[in-house]
Amino acid sequence: MNPVIFLVDMQSFYASIEQSLRPETQNQPLVVAGDPERRSGIILAACPLAKACGVKTAQPLWEAQQACPNLVIVRPRMSLYLDISLQITAILEKFSDLVEPYSIDEQFISIHGSEKLFGTPLQIAQKIQQAITSKLGLNARIGIGSNKVLSKMACDHFAKKNKTGIFYLHTQDIPNRLWPLPIESLFGVGKRMAKHLRQMGIRTIGGLAQFPLERLQRRWGINGHVLWLSANGIDPSPVRTNSFDLQKGIGHHMTLPRDYRDAEEIQVVLLELCEEVCRRARTHHQMGQTVHVGCRGIDFSAPTGFQRQLKMTEATNQTMMLFQYAWAVFQRFWDREPIRSIGVQMSQLVSDAHVQLNLFTDERTHRLGYVMDEIKQRYGSSAILRASSLLQAGQARERAQKIGGHYR
């Protein structure tokens, strides 16, 4: 029996949750957006009525208000959305033990073996929709395919445009359904990659599927091979319940509330980022061997900034050691122009079960980070801070009130 995989996507997730809790807004154009004063005034979700007025996700709030002056604007409540996402996972787990969260509002589920209990794939999809609507008052769109890529494409390009919110993309339908779509529609192809592909004369998914694989591999290596496989509807990756345990890197990125121009101010937020990255690494009992640093300038018309990496002499999850390397990278590649965002990541992760000690390292320094984590876990993330975070440039206290950069 061929595998059957669903991608369950929640329609206008944040906005739908807010409307379900605010019945008076059911017939109003509602959006969930951040705070413009802190440079987070971006549309995170828009209900169908707001979208019909021309409002788009990731659009600046001021632009959305011009398109729809009577917008109902709601600030995000991330802890609520995370809780409901977990409730959706629990509903899906009643239909299969193979459920893989892909994002806060999208989850893969393999129903292989569930047909004897719940019926055909279409019947199971309907039952999942009904269960989610009945318990949470939310609408789910479901793409169905024999693998993750096909189910994702089925959801994004067909189920969302289908009145039932369900679409089964069969393998034999790929040439007729999938291949005529523009190359930008392929899962994994962003604006930059689409531009490169179009320069090579590849304008549709079918054009990529029939393009010589050797040329794609020669230019992009493994990534070129993966794109070719996706265009042909091939994806061997299984649905995993532990996908987030297999992460290859741990990072944190911050959009700054104002332009940061001075090195002293940038040092403060870079140290805070290193603190958060190391905290996450310690939580997963991981250490990183390579540090990645990136920033973006303030001019959108002429983008500036960099993305660089450096391998450290030894794996670490100690804040100050990571910061020393991160600051060295930043100083080397920063063009001394103001920045509006900055990020740090650690990769080449290894277990922290075995730590290489040396004569110049106090073992208590290694334990200190874990003790600080325990204090934050017990009393809150702002219970203990570095003194530099109390400076005007510091963002740790403000971000302690948020989840994913948005207020709880």
pLDDT for 37 beyond 80: no
258 contacts: CB under 8 Å, gap ≥ 6: 39
What's the CATH number where 376 sits?
3.30.1490.100
Contact 23, 72 (CB under 8 A): no
Q: Which 3 state secondary structure label does DSSP give 115?
A: helix
DSSP assignment of 17-28 = HHHHH-GGGTTS
Question: Using 50, 70 and 90 to split pLDDT, how confident is the model at 369?
Answer: confident
Q: CA neighbours within 13 Å on the CB side: how many for 135?
A: 15
Compute the average pLDDT of residues 149-176: 95
pLDDT per residue as tens digits for the range 339-363: 988 999 999 888 887 766 665 666 6
Given a cut of 90, is residue 208 above it in pLDDT?
yes
pLDDT tens for each residue of 279-302: 999 988 899 999 999 998 887 666
Is 34 inside a domain boundary?
Answer: yes
Catalytic residue of the set 106, 265, 275, 276? 106
**Enclosing domain of residue 21:** 13-78
Is residue 280, in this structure, part of any structural domain at all? yes
Confirm if 293 and 240 have CB atoms less than 8 A apart: no
Report the domain count for the chain.
3
**Range from 95-99, 291-295, 389-393 carrying the lowest mean pLDDT:** 389-393
Q: Is residue 251 part of a domain?
A: yes
pTM beyond 0.85: the answer is: no
Residue 245 has pLDDT above 70, yes or no: no
Q: According to the model, what pLDDT value does residue 273 have?
A: 94
**Residue that is last in its domain, among 26, 43, 78:** 78
The pLDDT-based confidence of 243 (bands split at 50, 70, 90) is low
Give the three-state DSSP class for 55: coil
Q: 297-309 burial, b if ≥16 CB within 10 A, otherwise e?
A: bbeeeeeebeeee
Q: Calculate what percentage of the chain has a pLDDT beyond 90.
A: 61
> Coil, helix or strand for 191?
helix
In the listed set 207, 231, 255, which residue is the last one of a domain according to the structure? 231
Mean confidence (pLDDT) of the chain: 88
Tell me the pLDDT band of 371, cut-offs 50, 70 and 90.
confident
105 annotated as belonging to a binding site for a ligand: yes
Q: What is the CATH number of the domain that holds 209?
A: 1.10.150.20
User: 401 and 294 in one domain?
Assistant: yes
pLDDT band with cut points at 50, 70 and 90 for residue 119? very high
Verify whether residue 24 is a known catalytic residue: no
> Is there a domain that residue 361 lies in?
yes
Residue-by-residue DSSP string for 319-334 = HHHHHHHHHHHHHHH-
Is residue 9 a known part of a binding site?
A: yes
Contacts for 38 with CB less than 8 Å, ≥ 6 apart: 257
Q: What DSSP character marks residue 245? A: G
Condensed to tens digits (0 to 9), the pLDDT of residues 393-407 reads 888 777 766 665 555
Residue 127's pLDDT is what? 97
Q: How many CA atoms lie within 13 A of 156 on its CB side?
A: 14
- C-alpha–C-alpha distance, residues 270 and 298, integer Å: 17
- Here the tokens at position 151 are 């189910």
In a domain, residue 305? The reply is: yes
Beta bridge partners of 110: 5
